[in-house]
Every structure is written in structure tokens, then in C-alpha cells.
Amino acid sequence: MTRGKQKASATLIHVDGHDLEWTLLRDQQWSSENDYQGITVAVRKAGVVKRELILKYPYLGVRANGAWRRPDKPRVTPEIVESAVRAALEAGWEPESRGKPFHFEVPDEAAQ
Amino acid sequence: MTELLHFEDLPVGRVFECGPYHVTKEEIFEFAREFDPQPHHLDEEAAKASMLKGLSASGWHICAMAMRMFADGVILKAANRGGVGAREARWMKPVRPGDTLRMEAEVVEVKASQSKPVGFVTFDCRIFNATEQVALVSMTPIISRRA
């Protein structure tokens, strides 16, 4: 038996004149190697191969103080992706360009 | 024949319910004799005097049981190309004789290879003991073929 989405599928969003699609690459997680890590989202121009945007969010949730604690699982909404995309556009991501992915650390104010 | 699960069938957030697996005293002794011969896994009196206050399965035995549930519930249903190790293995609570275990394996990270028709899928695996306490947590990446 399984729960959750059965197939990987991109969600469409429209941000500042750009038709984009995003997929969740990583949920929040904890490891002894990397401590708490936030979600990672891939964003690209819808339907064409262009420079991808990789959004790395800060960890959103309660951190364990000593004992292991399961990481919180925030709901990833189009709104928090849109605000992070706007911040990335301001930081220099050009959705129409080609080349290696543009990695962007999402600031706290754009992650909520 | 059921179609195999490929990388695209394993998005972040998909959860597989695996198990059940019934734990017997005989199997605890057998595994411990072969692979982890510490007194508290081999002798009930020594186990009572131990930190866990009773006979419990070796942590490595719990990992092996987890692997069996993961194999039956996910690996053998997937276009799997192998594993690349386990990132975490934490023994949280003891597993006792008579426990029936179950496992939740949740996809928490995916990464498509840029050069090969495969992707890396990381599962957050949680094993629950008879009282629904998390007995083991582990992070297990597998390599899965793309569709």
C-alpha cells in the first residue's frame, strides 16, 4: 500500500510574466552529517529546456534539542515557491537563458 | 505481471507501507549467535540485567528485518539498479520477541542523473514496534531506472 502522489508531476505557476513549472526535489530532513535541511525545489521554464533554478530553503520547523526528532513536514504551496522565484529573479536568474542550474539560497523572508 | 516502479513513479512524499514482520525469540538468538554475540542478545538473564531490561533483537538484526520489509515492499517492485549505502541508522527503541514490526518508507529526495538513464531516490525508513514506537530510523538511497 502506498500514500502520497503516485507520479512525479510538475506544478505550473506564472511569476512576473514567466510561465514556469516546479517540482519538489527534497523534503525537509535531518542527518547526522548535514543536520536539519530545508526543502529543495527545481523551477524551470514550462515546456522548454532552459537554465533551471534550484531553490534551497532554510529549515522550517522545530529543531530537536539533543534527542532525535522527526523533521517537520511543511506544506509546499505555490505561494512560497512564487515568492522565492521573485527573490531569485532579483538575484539574477534568467529563465530564458541556457546553461548550468542557478542555485539560490532562499532567504527567510521569502520562505514563508 | 505488474509493471515495475521507475524513477518517475517515486516522487518526494510517496509513502510505502511495508511489512508486517513477526519477531521470534528463536530468530533473535539465531541472528545473535551468528552475527552479534553479545550476552544481552543471547541470554535472557543477562538481558534482564542489561540497560534494555529484557531480551531484545540486535540493532543489526533490526536492520536486516527492515531490509526484508523494504525489499518486499519497494525494492522488488522497482526497476532498481542497486543501493549506495545507508546514510543513517538509529536504534530508537528495543524490538522484543513477539513484536510484529511494520515499516513506512517515504521518498524524501530525488535526483536524476545528468548522464545516465537512472535517478537516485532517498527513502526515510521508519520501523515501528508492537506499541507503535519508532524502533529504527534510516535514510536509504537507491538507484532507480528512468521510464
Taking only the tens place, the pLDDT of each residue in B81-132 is 988 888 888 899 999 999 999 999 999 999 999 899 999 999 999 999 999 9
Q: Which residues of A touch B10 (CB under 8 A)?
A: 8
Q: What percent of chain B has pLDDT over 90?
A: 88
B112 in A contact zone (CB under 8 Å): no
- Mean pLDDT score across all residues of chain B: 94
> What pLDDT band is residue A42 in, cutting at 50, 70 and 90?
very high
- CA–CA distances in Å: residue B131 to residues A42, B48, B69, B94, B95: 39, 20, 18, 11, 10
Amino acid identity of residue A100, one-letter, is K
Residue of B nearest to A27 (CA): B108
pLDDT at A68: 67
pLDDT at A60: 86
Residue A33 has pLDDT above 90, yes or no: no
Secondary structure of residue B12 in the 3-state scheme: coil
Secondary structure of residue A89 in the 3-state scheme: helix
- Cell (9 digits) for A59: 529549515
Residue of B nearest to A74 (CA): B13
| DSSP code for A61 | S
Residue at grid coordinates 509513502: B15
Return the number of other C-beta atoms located less than 10 Å from residue A41's C-beta: 24
Return the number of other C-beta atoms located less than 10 Å from residue B77's C-beta: 16
Question: Any idea which of A25-29, A32-36, B113-117, B121-125 has the lowest mean pLDDT?
Answer: A32-36
Residue of A nearest to B88 (CA): A31
pLDDT one-digit tens code per residue, B45-55: 999 999 999 99
Q: Tell me if A95 sits within 8 A of A48, measured CB to CB.
A: no
Q: Which residues of A touch B11 (CB under 8 A)?
A: 4-9, 23-24
